[in-house]
Amino acid sequence: MEVKIVDKLSVFISSVAQDSLTTLRMRTKQLLDNLGHEGIIFEESIMFTELDSVKTCLEYVKDSDMLILFIDTKAGSMISSEGKSVTHLEFLTAHEEGKKVLVYVNRQVVDEFFKLKNKLDEVNDLYFNNYRQFVNVVDTFETTYISDSYVLVLLYDLYQKGYYLNSFELGIDLDDQIKQHLSSIMKKSLRYLSIEKDIQRAMYHFSIYRDFYENSLRLVELIRNGKIVDARLLLSRLQNQMDRIVVEKKSKYQNEKITVLNPATAITLYSMESDEMVLVEYSGDVTAENIPLDNRDSYVVITATNPEYEEALFYNYDKNLFYFLFKVNTYVFCVHYPNDGEIIKEEYHDFVFNAILESKGYRYCFFLKKLMEG
């Protein structure tokens, strides 16, 4: 029975086109393929759809999950416009894309690199902001084993970026070492998978707090000494946070959906002055006007005059519309939430009220209350 693999690990095998590395590249691809992964090498795997072969290779690096980089004595083809070798560009692409990179360097090359490292540090300090000058100076270095001095530039960049330079000797099987590194990566990955939900939850909450921080600052600039500076802009910004709300009846074993409140269609703002509630401003699709305090059918008046109501919820059966009200000092805010569904029985109104109090939009209402109360 044929086993279908949904999504293989793809590994781009990078190195210069050097005879000493040809067998190693082919053997590594075979190893990866035998392990059920997909080894990608320039010679066999790449389909060139553009005239620019370098660009095609870099696209394959971006699409791969991982890069294995072999380095010997030669630098390979240089791209004059970039001042870098193709192999260096492949590594930089993987690094910038956040790919896992394993680096294997001929032992004699590694030894020579570390002998010259202090000298490389000195040149780097002198030409920190001038890459091409750094390369030109390194090009004057005398090397015993390394054929192209640019190899030192590549190794120095790898070292500076924190990559470990695993050494190898030509002619000695690297399979076991590569398998050990892949096993180590898999083990670390499984640790992250075991806390994947915690990571996702943390990222979700980070996103919420980041948005709340940014949006709350936009409210702060509209309040001065407990007074509203620009009521229309304040209501508009507040309305933008009143998103869709799913109302559920939660039990020990399941959540039963009761209804859904669509994003707020309007917010009105009133202020109590002598014998009426004066319309200060409104946002959205609504017709509003001043309301006499003796109008006992008005949700705004009921909320404003009842000392027990800091926050209140009312439901208009005819319009199938919920009104969430909260008061701050002499102000009363009224948020209009359309019900997306059938008429809601009174026995479920508390579930609607609780869902609003747990919603993202309410966080801004609560923040606004505390901000204006001082």
pLDDT of residue 307 exceeding 80, the answer is: yes
Q: Computed from CA positions of residues 121, 123, 124, 125, in that sequence, does the dihedral angle turn out positive or negative?
A: positive
pLDDT of residue 192 exceeding 80, the answer is: no
pLDDT tens figures, 78-108 = 998 888 999 999 999 999 999 999 999 999 9
CB 222 within 8 A of CB 237: yes
322 versus 186: which is more confidently predicted? 322
Domain 197-373 fold: Beta-Lactamase (3.30.450)
- Provide long-range contacts, Cβ within 8 A and 24+ apart, for 322-326: 322/261, 322/352, 322/356, 323/299, 324/353, 324/356, 325/299, 325/300, 326/365, 326/369
Mean pLDDT of 244-255: 82
CA–CA dist 216, 259 (Å, integer): 29
pLDDT of residue 261 exceeding 90, the answer is: yes
Percent of residues, the chain, with pLDDT higher than 90:
60
Percent of residues, the chain, with pLDDT higher than 70:
96
pTM > 0.75: yes or no:
no
278 versus 127: which is more confidently predicted? 278
DSSP code per residue over 275-324? TEEEEEEEEES-----EETT-TT-HHHHHHH-TT-SEEEEEETTTTEEEE
pLDDT number for residue 255:
79
CA–CA dist 152, 174 (Å, integer): 23
pLDDT number for residue 231:
93
Q: E strands of the chain, at which residues?
A: 10-14, 38-40, 66-71, 78-79, 84-85, 100-106, 165-168, 223-224, 227-228, 245-250, 255-261, 266-273, 276-284, 291-292, 311-316, 321-328, 331-338
Least confident of 192-201, 226-235, 237-246, 254-263: 192-201
pLDDT number for residue 201:
78
pLDDT number for residue 15:
92
Class of domain 10-194: alpha beta
pLDDT of residue 279 exceeding 60, the answer is: yes
Say if residue 68 is exposed, middle or buried (CB neighbours under 10 Å; 0-12, 13-18, 19+): buried
Q: Which one, of 245, 227, 209, lies nearest residue 361 by Cα?
A: 245
pLDDT number for residue 253:
67
45 falls in which pLDDT band (50, 70, 90)? low
pLDDT tens figures, 201-216 = 777 777 778 888 888 8
pLDDT number for residue 203:
75
pLDDT tens figures, 67-80 = 999 999 999 889 98
Domain ranges of the chain: 10-194, 197-373
Mean pLDDT of 260-288: 94
151 falls in which pLDDT band (50, 70, 90)? very high
Q: What mean pLDDT is reported for the chain?
A: 89
Mean pLDDT of 25-46: 88
Q: Computed from CA positions of residues 156, 158, 162, 164, in that sequence, does the dihedral angle turn out positive or negative?
A: negative
Mean pLDDT of 292-306: 94
50 versus 264: which is more confidently predicted? 264
pLDDT number for residue 354:
94
